[in-house]
A and B are shown apart, each in its own frame.
Chain A
């Protein structure tokens, strides 16, 4: 199975900050990497698929990059509604595993 490791596990930032979250796969997954945002008590919401394609309706301040084993999710200017937990997921090989999540908190 492919292991997905996110860093950091938690992060404190302020509104307007630029934030980067990293996801590393235990083996190459090409660009088969998705990012989700989850708020407390809610279902995950798809932000980015295929490493860098923004899902329809997602603000352009969100961007994704990377291929192979190393990937990043960047929020260019944090907004109050962005404080949430972010998870990566690989869809390269079964089982389609998730990272452990990165909790983004208000500083």
Chain B
């Protein structure tokens, strides 16, 4: 079955760019009607939807982060990536990637996230 694994630096300095990769195994990043989403969760707080990317590189970003977020897909490596620029301490969180899919192929509504990576902790500190 499909598995996701986030990777990247655990410590990023303020004002720098956070860069994470999500490697997809057991399936293709290009398959079906799937998007690939990024979600984050500060310690002790709720989940925040960062955005998502389709295999054709169509993206949707949370407006609250849009000016700082870039997502990309590398079909040759079966990976999706997240970049968040100009980070501050408020960006310290566990970052998850997830498969965002519809109930059936060929439809593009009722999306839900059914496969998640284990998450990676990113701390922003000098």
Are A32 and B49 in contact, with the CB atoms below 8 A? no
Are A98 and B116 in contact, with the CB atoms below 8 A? no
- A interface SS class: loop
With a CB–CB cut-off of 8 A, which chain B residues contact A101? 46-47
A29-65 at interface with B (beta carbon < 8 Å): 31-32, 34, 36, 42-46, 49-50, 53, 55
Are A97 and B49 in contact, with the CB atoms below 8 A? yes
With a CB–CB cut-off of 8 A, which chain A residues contact B116? 43-45
User: Which of the residues A1, A31, A100 comes within 8 Å of B46, measured between beta carbons?
Assistant: A100
With a CB–CB cut-off of 8 A, which chain B residues contact A53? 103
Q: Give A52 to B4 CA distance when docked, in angstroms.
A: 26
With a CB–CB cut-off of 8 A, which chain A residues contact B48? 98
With a CB–CB cut-off of 8 A, which chain A residues contact B110? 31-32, 49-50, 91
Residues of A at under 8 Å CB distance from B? 1, 31-32, 34, 36, 42-46, 49-50, 53, 55, 87, 89, 91, 94-101
Closest 6 pairs (CB-CB, A-B)? A49-B112, A43-B116, A95-B62, A98-B47, A100-B46, A91-B111
Residues of B at under 8 Å CB distance from A? 37, 39, 45-49, 51-52, 60-64, 96, 98, 103, 109-114, 116-119
